[in-house]
Amino acid sequence: MKFFKYLFLLILLVFVVGSLYIATISVPGEKSINFETPLKAELFQIKIQDLSTYETWFSFPEESTSKPRLSNPENFENTTLSWQNERFEAINFQNKRFTEDSIIQQLVLKTWLSSSEMDINWTFVSSEKNSIIAVQLYSDASFMQKAEYILKGKSHIEIAENAIKESLSRLEDSIHKEISVYDISPVGKVVTGGFHLIHATSAARLNFESILDKSRPIFESVENFMQEQEFKESKGRIILFENFYEDENSLIFSSGIGTETPVAIPDYFEVLSKPISRGTYFKTQLRGDYVNLKQLLSISEATIEKRDLVINRFLKPFLEFEIDATETVSPAELVTNFYVPILE
Domain extents for the chain? 26-179, 183-341
Between CA 273 and CA 228 the distance in angstroms is 16
Q: Which phi and psi (to 5°) does residue 247 adopt? A: 55, 40
Segment-wise mean pLDDT, segments of 10 residues, the chain, 344 residues: 47 42 59 94 94 94 90 89 94 93 95 90 88 94 67 83 96 95 95 93 87 92 86 87 84 92 75 91 96 93 94 95 92 96 91
Question: What is the pLDDT at residue 41?
Answer: 94
The Cβ-side half-sphere exposure at 213, using a 13 Å CA radius, reads 11
According to CATH, the topology of domain 183-341 is Multidrug-efflux Transporter 1 Regulator Bmrr; Chain A (3.20.80)
Q: Tell me the Cα Rg of the chain.
A: 30
The Cβ-side half-sphere exposure at 327, using a 13 Å CA radius, reads 11
Question: What is the pLDDT at residue 271?
Answer: 85
Question: What is the pLDDT at residue 260?
Answer: 85
What's the count of helices (H) and strands (E) in the chain, helices before strands? 7, 15
183-341 and 26-179 share a CATH fold: no
Question: What is the pLDDT at residue 62?
Answer: 85
**Following CA atoms 249, 252, 205, 235 in sequence, which dihedral angle do they give, to the nearest 10 degrees?**
-150
Q: What CATH class has 26-179?
A: alpha beta
Question: What is the pLDDT at residue 14?
Answer: 42
